[in-house]
Amino acid sequence: MSSPDNRPAKLSRFDLYSNIALSQGALASPAAMQGWLIGYLSTGARLTKEQWLAESAEYLALPDAWNDKSKLPILGFYQDELKQIQGQDLDYTLLMPSDDEDFDVRMQAFSEWAKGFLDGFGASGRIAEADITEDVMEILKHYDAFSYGIEADDIDEDSERLFTELVEHARVTALFMFYHFNQAQQEPKLH
DSSP E strands in the chain: the ranges are none
Mean pLDDT, all residues of the chain = 90
Out of 45-49, 135-139, 151-155, 158-162, least confident range? 151-155
Is the pLDDT confidence value at 18 over 60? Answer: yes
Is residue 107 within 8 A of residue 155, CB to CB? The reply is no
Give me the domains of the chain, ranges plus CATH numbers.
Answer: 13-184 (1.20.120.740)
pLDDT in tens, 78-98: 999 999 999 988 999 999 999
What one-character DSSP code corresponds to residue 4? T
Q: So what's the pLDDT on residue 1?
A: 44
Please tell me the predicted confidence (pLDDT) of residue 185: 57
Instruction: Compute the distance between CA of residue 117 and CA of residue 140 in angstroms, rounded to an integer.
Output: 9
Stretch (H or E) spanning 144 = helix 134-146
Distance between CA atoms of residues 37 and 77, nearest Å: 10
- Are the CB atoms for 74 and 52 separated by under 8 Å? yes
Task: Report pLDDT for 2.
Answer: 43
Query: Residue 56: enclosing H or E segment and its boundaries?
Result: helix 49-59
Would you say residue 142 has pLDDT above 60?
yes
Using 50, 70 and 90 to split pLDDT, how confident is the model at 190? Answer: very low
Burial class (CB in 10 A: 0-12, 13-18, 19+), 10: exposed
